[in-house]
Amino acid sequence: MSEAATPVNPASNEPTLAAAPAGDRPLLQLENVVKHFPIRRGIFFKRQIGRVQAVEGVSLEVRRGETLGLVGETGCGKSTLARCITRLHPLTSGRVIFDGVDITRLSAGQLRPYRRRMQMIFQDPFGSLNPRRRVGSIIGDPLAIHGIADGGERKRQVQELMEVVGLNPEHYNRFPSEFSGGQRQRIGVARALALRPSLIVCDEPVSALDVSVQAQIINLLEDLQGEFGLTYVFIAHDLAVVEHVSDRVAVMYLGKIVEMADTAELFGSPRHPYTAALLSASMVADPEKARSSHRVVLYGDVPSPINPPSGCRFHTRCPKAQPLCSVEEPPLRVQAGDPGGHLTACHFPVAPGEQLVGAEPAISAAVTEFVATSPGAGEEETV
Amino acid sequence: MSLSPFDVGSAALVADEDQSLEALDAGRAIEGRSPLRLAFARLRSDRIAWLAAGMIVLMALLAVVAPVLSALTGHSPYNPDLVNGTDSFGQPYGPGQAGFLLGTDNVGRDILVRVAYGARISLLVGVLATLLATVGGTILGLVSGYYGGWIDALLARMMDAVLSFPYVLAAIVLAAVFGGSLPLTIGVIAFFSWAAIGRIVRGQTLSQKEKEYVEAARSIGAGSFRIMFVDILPNLIAPVIVLGTLLVPVAVVFEATLDYLGVGVGPPTPTWGNMLADDQGSAGFGAWWFWVFPSVALLITTLGFNLLGDSVRDALDPRTERLFANRRKKVVVGGGPDASARADTDRLSGGTEAR
Amino acid sequence: MSLLSVRDLTVSFPTSDGVVRAVRGLSFDVEAGQTLGIVGETGSGKSVSALSLLGLNPGADVSGSALFEGKELLALGPEQLRAVRGAEIAMIFQDPLSSLHPYYRVGWQICEAIRTHRRTSRAEAMRQAVELLRLVSIPQPERRVQSFPHELSGGMRQRAMIAMALALRPKLLIADEPTTALDATVQAQLMELLGGMQRELGMAMIVITHDLGLVATVADSVLVMYAGRGAERADYRTIFHSPHHPYTRGLLASIPGAAGSGGRLVPIVGQPPSLIRIPSGCAFHPRCPFAMDVCVRDQPPFVPVSGGEGHLSACWLPPDVVGVDAAADAARQRFVEGRRGPAIARLRAAISGARARGGVAHV
């Protein structure tokens, strides 16, 4: 048994990972993962002039066979976190523990066996497939790299994979440009599946697809999960999609997890004001829900991750912010009255049934003023 | 699994989610046409490309048949022949005189035979030096762009240095030290040409390595070598081919320059460069054929490769490529109008109209 | 009379591979102060049709009629169209960088937009520009007018573009995928802003999108497009609760959280068709679970059906079969039985022929 099961440093205020026997030990554990990107200037002697705090102390665990949804807006660090999990980015600090083994500092060679068990599906079905290579060799790449199959055997396995993801195996020799977006995403799925991984990190796998095609890919991913016992980390910004596919959901804001709970719990009674605002802002394809729901409009933009706000990073846009929020960072913990798995990082969590009010006066007041003060359109001459 | 009522009885048509329509829609399935094959097809429909290829083939034929020409006419490319090659006053024959199609030079050598032999050298040096430069430049450019850091700093500065070096001067010094020869000429030209390719390849590599497919390759455990040569390199082939084609005429002219200056392959081997140099004194003499024919040969060769390079670029250009690609409908429908919309937005808003 | 009345709009682009028939006889109306949502997938012709109204599709063959306040837009010359664009009909795009010139300051661009159409002093135009930026809740507008587009965040750029579009108080705003590239919270801000502007200015809007959620939130009426034609048109409630067309029905079943979706999503099979080789009859028939022989043969007319006032649909299914529930689907199915003859048999044969090797069915 490795050091994986040791609890996280209690001083970090992060949830403690319980020691567990190998059987039901989480497949993936992140401990205090931090990823900063240095900003450098200069040609020969590059000076570091700042850093982007993309991921700032994320701890979570993913259980075998579940789907953990990761939601957040642009720049919240969810894609960076995905790349930290799959070790495409080296971590600044913290640990990634895969099936009980700390893979954070493994060399490329040592990492290889873990790469086999941990794959990724990318967002862009156009960019993630090499345009100059045939589909057969793209899907067969993992088999070639890991020396699993060669020649005819590789071709057989690739065609089997194509079959499994619903592609025509006869299209083995085609180029990615000859497929539609949905089919390309199937190619990406087949490639991720080739090594029979246990964990697949899906980075916005359906965001770039047409509506009617999205459902095809979502269903495919669901079927494969059942068939191959896969565990997913599913990253998306579309809350409806995340709600549909996930067992548990973690919400990220500016590099930190602000709330994490079972899907129904999180969507049913969000406690963090950001989660509540995000949920209310998402537009459901159901006119009654979409129009009746009280929309919490957040003002301003997400602050820069180069200079994140002090204390709680959300306090600059939070409708419930108090002086304390800009000083002290709230720990991610179980709030009073919540079930054990529901963690929220907030000093003043949203009470069930509470209605949030936007942080600034409604825009319509400004519009009314504009219309009243500026000259009417009719008076102006048209050139 | 909860079946939506939407499925009722539709199983036969829902049998497959993706390809059914594909099969119906594209009755004539196009089997794996590689981007290069598509480019080649485009090239074949380009008249300029045919013209350019014709010019190159003409010069290549000339090079191939040079010994035959020499044997048929009995005119040696090397040895002066004042008896048969000059008239009774010792003057060279003009074109068409005494069975010399292109005339003779002032020591009585057949200019046609010498131009044909010159083609051998020009094409050999041009193609071989370019090949060497292309391979070297591609590898160094890839390495430089892919690894970045100090390797890149070093290689990039090296390329800058080579590109800014006074190469003629360097060639003269090298020839003075080692004596002019064919391998040295090729080496010198390759050495001064690789940086042009290297710089482009480096730039392309820098942009390619940010693409998601490279990340995908890394996520399945591919090593640096594999990513560079299996994943990135095929995406650089197009610009490399174009540049390579355009580099050939440069190398041909380079070779002619060196020979003209007397530091290239050197006499007695006939090259267009040293023919021009030999004939220099005679130009004022009225024997225009001394310099016109080697120059024309040089012109046809360089023009041929330049035109071919342009055609190849057009054929490989990703924008024209998209218009021809199998899935073009998306581009035409989505991209075309969008692009025009973008161009028109200025007008729409009146924003920059007053400019 | 409607503010904008489009009849039988046809747009095609000649290309080297054949004619791309992007829009094939589209008709719709936009009432003053109302919002029309146009929904469709890639290649449905939704953007092309809007651009064609403003003469923004160079190289396209456009025919049909588009009456805007009684003016025939399609007959206007370039100069007359310019007077309409911006002043009476404004447009905002998905990518704000495409509408904002990178080398000019934002304030200057808004000024020019105003001064192109109105006789105003530069100082007065600049004052209005600041007001507009304030209106779209850009903080410190006095300073921001001096910014270049790249100095603004994505959401701010989008707002600056809206400010520019609204500068002349257009009667109609066409928003082409206005929020696609934006995050949910920013999207909510913008739609609230646009909604407010619309109420106050009495402006009509056409919102072109693939996002049914956006349509459910903002549209008064909805036009669903497929392969360059209107598939269905109705008020927003009818579209979501009593759709007639199987395509609309299928879209709703394939979206998580949509009004008619159950536990597992039910995708529409296949891909949207090529606009160069459009399927015969009803263009949707190869993907339609209720395809009949007539669908393969004849194009269905865009006719009233019984979902509600102004509910139109282009489908051969009986007009009274609407809805997203099991009963409606069963009714559709009953109607279809016996109307599937040789044409559907051929279709099935073609599918199974293409799939003779067998495969995994995701049903």
Residue B307: its pLDDT value, please? 87
Residue B187: its pLDDT value, please? 86
C 301-360 residues inside an 8 A Cβ radius of B: 325-326, 328-330, 333, 336-337, 347-348, 350-355, 359
A 141-170 residues inside an 8 A Cβ radius of B: 141-142, 145-146, 166-168
Q: Is B326 helix (H, G, I), strand (E, B) or coil?
A: coil
- How many separate domains does chain C show? 3
Range name among B195-204, B319-328, C154-163, C346-355 with the lowest pLDDT average: B319-328
Q: Name the nearest CA neighbour of C322 among C332, C336, C310.
A: C332
- Return the partners of chain C (3 or more C-beta pairs < 8 Å): A, B
Average pLDDT over residues C181-198: 80
In this structure, are C127 and C268 located in the same domain?
Answer: no
Q: Which of C152, C189, C215 to mutate against chain A (most A CBs within 10 Å)? A: C189
CB C199 within 8 A of CB C229: no
State yes or no: pLDDT of A380 exceeds 80: no
Using pLDDT thresholds of 50, 70 and 90, give the confidence band for residue B3.
very low
CB C173 within 8 A of CB C33: no
Nearest C-alpha in A relative to B211 = A127
C56, C164, C275: residue with CB nearest B333: C275
Helix (H) / strand (E) element for A348: namely: none
Residue with more model confidence, A359 or A161: A161
Flag if B30 and A177 touch (Cβ within 8 Å): no
Query: Could you report the per-residue pLDDT of B245-299, keeping only the tens digit for each?
Result: 888 888 888 888 888 877 777 677 778 877 777 766 555 556 777 778 888 888 8
Q: Name the nearest CA neighbour of A320 among A378, A255, A270.
A: A270
Amino acid occupying residue C263: G
Cα B74 to Cα A300: distance, rounded to the nearest angstrom: 89
B6, B328, B345: residue with CB nearest C329: B6
Does B212 reach chain A within 8 Å, measured CB to CB?
A: yes
In this structure, are C130 and C36 located in the same domain?
Answer: no
Nearest C-alpha in A relative to C268 = A212
Amino acid occupying residue A301: D
State yes or no: pLDDT of B244 exceeds 60: yes
Give the Cα-Cα-Cα angle C255, C40, C82 (nearest 5 degrees): 145
Nearest C-alpha in B relative to C110 = B351
Nearest C-alpha in B relative to A130 = B213
Q: Which of A211, A214, A280, A357 to mutate against chain C (most C CBs within 10 Å)? A: A211
E strands, chain A, in order: 28-41, 47-62, 67-71, 93-98, 101-102, 118-121, 199-203, 231-236, 248-253, 256-262, 333-334, 343-344
Q: Beta strands C18-30 and C4-15: pairing type?
A: antiparallel
Residue C95: its pLDDT value, please? 74
> What's the CATH number for B46-318?
1.10.3720.10
Does A161 reach chain C within 8 Å, measured CB to CB?
A: no
A108, A133, A166: residue with CB nearest B18: A166
**CATH label of the domain that carries residue C252:** 3.40.50.300
Strand order in the sheet with A256-262: A118-121, A199-203, A231-236, A67-71, A248-253, A256-262, A343-344, A333-334
Does C178 reach chain B within 8 Å, measured CB to CB?
A: no
Per-residue HEC secondary structure of chain C comes to: CCCEEEEEEEEEEEECCEEEEEEEEEEEEECCCCEEEEECCCCCCHHHHHHHHCCCCCCCEEEEEEEECCEEHHHCCHHHHHHHECCCEEEECCCHHHHCCCCCCHHHHHHHHHHHHCCCCHHHHHHHHHHHHHHCCCCCHHHHCCCCHHHCCHHHHHHHHHHHHHCCCCCEEEEECCCCCCCHHHHHHHHHHHHHHHHHHCCEEEEEECCHHHHHHHCCEEEEEECCEEEEEEEHHHHHHCCCCHHHHHHHHCCCCCCCCCCCCCCCCCCCCCCCCCCCCCCCHHHCCCCCHHHHHCCCCCEECCCCCCCEECCCCCCCCCCCCHHHHHHHHHHHCCCCCHHHHHHHHHHHHHCCCCCCCCC
Percent of the residues in chain C that have a pLDDT greater than 90, as a whole number: 20
Average pLDDT over residues C61-70: 90
In this structure, are C135 and C194 located in the same domain?
Answer: no
Does residue C81 lie in a domain region?
A: yes
A86, A134, A177: residue with CB nearest B327: A177
Flag if C363 and B354 touch (Cβ within 8 Å): no
Residue with more model confidence, B22 or B62: B62
Flag if C131 and A363 touch (Cβ within 8 Å): no
In this structure, are C209 and C229 located in the same domain?
Answer: no
B212, B219, B226: residue with CB nearest A124: B212
| Dihedral Cα B278, B283, B285, B289, nearest 10 deg | 90
Q: Which of A370, A374, A381 to mutate against chain C (most C CBs within 10 Å)? A: A370
Return the number of CB contacts < 8 Å for A and B.
106
Cα A96 to Cα A106: distance, rounded to the nearest angstrom: 11
State yes or no: pLDDT of A373 exceeds 70: no
Does residue C363 lie in a domain region?
A: no
For residue A174, how many other CB atoms are within 10 A of its CB? 23
State the alpha helices, DSSP H only, in A232-293: 239-245, 263-268, 273-281, 287-292
Query: Could you report the per-residue pLDDT of B123-133, keeping only the tens digit for each?
Result: 888 889 999 99
Tell me which chain A residues have a C-beta less than 8 angstroms from the C-beta of B153: 43-44
Cα C113 to Cα C125: distance, rounded to the nearest angstrom: 9
Helix (H) / strand (E) element for B300: namely: helix B289-316
Using pLDDT thresholds of 50, 70 and 90, give the confidence band for residue C258.
low
Average pLDDT over residues A307-315: 89
Residue C99: its pLDDT value, please? 74
Calculate how close chain B gets to C157, using CA atoms only, in Å: 15
Strand order in the sheet with A28-41: A47-62, A28-41, A93-98, A101-102
Give the Cα-Cα-Cα angle A290, C152, C193 (nearest 5 degrees): 30
Flag if B218 and A88 touch (Cβ within 8 Å): yes
Beta bridge partners of A343: A260, A334
Cα A175 to Cα A188: distance, rounded to the nearest angstrom: 13
Cα C145 to Cα C125: distance, rounded to the nearest angstrom: 12
Whole-complex ipTM: 0.83
For residue A11, how many other CB atoms are within 10 A of its CB? 6
| Dihedral Cα A364, A370, A376, A382, nearest 10 deg | -100
Nearest C-alpha in B relative to A164 = B16
Q: Name the nearest CA neighbour of C359 among B103, B139, B260, B22.
A: B22
Does residue C43 lie in a domain region?
A: yes
Does B353 reach chain A within 8 Å, measured CB to CB?
A: no
Calculate how close chain C gets to A324, using CA atoms only, in Å: 24
Does A178 reach chain C within 8 Å, measured CB to CB?
A: no
pTM here is 0.80
Does A174 reach chain B within 8 Å, measured CB to CB?
A: yes
State yes or no: pLDDT of C363 exceeds 80: no
Does A213 reach chain C within 8 Å, measured CB to CB?
A: yes
Cα B214 to Cα C4: distance, rounded to the nearest angstrom: 49
Say which residues have a Cβ less than 8 Å from residue B183's Cβ, sequence separation at least 6: none
Cα C307 to Cα C320: distance, rounded to the nearest angstrom: 8
State the alpha helices, DSSP H only, in A60-126: 78-85, 108-117
Cα A50 to Cα A48: distance, rounded to the nearest angstrom: 6
Flag if A370 and C271 touch (Cβ within 8 Å): no
* Full set of structural domains in chain A with CATH: 26-246 (3.40.50.300), 270-373 (no CATH)
DSSP character at residue A347: S
Q: Which two tokens stand for residue A53?
A: 């705090």
Does A354 reach chain C within 8 Å, measured CB to CB?
A: no
Give the Cα-Cα-Cα angle C318, C324, C329 (nearest 5 degrees): 55
Domain boundaries, chain B: 46-318
Tell me which chain B residues have a C-beta less than 8 angstroms from the C-beta of C267: 17
Rounded to whole angstroms, what are the CA distances from A213 to A123, A130, A219, B18?
A: 14, 22, 10, 9
A 293-322 residues inside an 8 A Cβ radius of C: 295, 297-302
Amino acid occupying residue C61: D
In this structure, are C244 and C182 located in the same domain?
Answer: no
Domain enclosing residue C8, as ranges: 1-88+171-219
State the alpha helices, DSSP H only, in B165-232: 167-178, 182-208, 212-219, 224-226
Q: Name the nearest CA neighbour of C240 among C263, C214, C207, C265.
A: C214
In this structure, are C31 and C147 located in the same domain?
Answer: no
In this structure, are C104 and C37 located in the same domain?
Answer: no
Helix axes B233-260, B272-279, angle to 10 degrees: 30
Does residue C41 lie in a domain region?
A: yes
Flag if A133 and B234 touch (Cβ within 8 Å): yes
In this structure, are C305 and C161 located in the same domain?
Answer: no
Calculate how close chain C gets to A378, using CA atoms only, in Å: 10
Query: Could you report the per-residue pLDDT of C41-51, keeping only the tens digit for each?
Result: 887 888 888 88
Calculate how close chain B gets to C57, using CA atoms only, in Å: 6
Tell me which chain B residues have a C-beta less than 8 angstroms from the C-beta of C99: 345, 348-349, 351
Instruction: State which of C158, C188, C219 marks the end of a domain.
Output: C219
Tell me which chain A residues have a C-beta less than 8 angstroms from the C-beta of C256: 218, 240-241, 243-245
Does A83 reach chain B within 8 Å, measured CB to CB?
A: yes
Nearest C-alpha in C relative to B9 = C333
In this structure, are C12 and C58 located in the same domain?
Answer: yes
Per-residue HEC secondary structure of B225-292 comes to: HHHHHHHHHHHHHHHHHHHHHHHHHHHHHHHHHHHHCCCCCCCCCCCHHHHHHHHHHHHHHCCCHHHH
State yes or no: pLDDT of B58 exceeds 50: yes
Residue with more model confidence, A202 or A168: A202
Cα A308 to Cα A255: distance, rounded to the nearest angstrom: 9
Average pLDDT of chain B to the nearest whole number: 73
Cα B106 to Cα B117: distance, rounded to the nearest angstrom: 18
Flag if A381 and C119 touch (Cβ within 8 Å): yes
Helix axes B149-164, B111-147, angle to 10 degrees: 150
In this structure, are C241 and C315 located in the same domain?
Answer: yes
Does B324 reach chain A within 8 Å, measured CB to CB?
A: no
| Dihedral Cα B183, B188, B189, B191, nearest 10 deg | 120
A 253-282 residues inside an 8 A Cβ radius of C: 277-278, 280-282
Cα C246 to Cα B6: distance, rounded to the nearest angstrom: 9
Tell me which chain C residues have a C-beta less than 8 angstroms from the C-beta of A314: none
Amino acid occupying residue B257: T
Q: Name the nearest CA neighbour of B95 among B256, B268, B281, B286.
A: B286
Does residue C361 lie in a domain region?
A: no
Does C164 reach chain B within 8 Å, measured CB to CB?
A: yes
In this structure, are C50 and C184 located in the same domain?
Answer: yes
Which range scores top for mean pLDDT: A218-222, C114-118, C160-164?
A218-222
In this structure, are C120 and C253 located in the same domain?
Answer: no
Flag if B329 and C20 touch (Cβ within 8 Å): yes
Tell me which chain B residues have a C-beta less than 8 angstroms from the C-beta of A194: 220
Residue B285: its pLDDT value, please? 59
Residue A64: its pLDDT value, please? 92
Residue with more model confidence, C166 or C207: C207
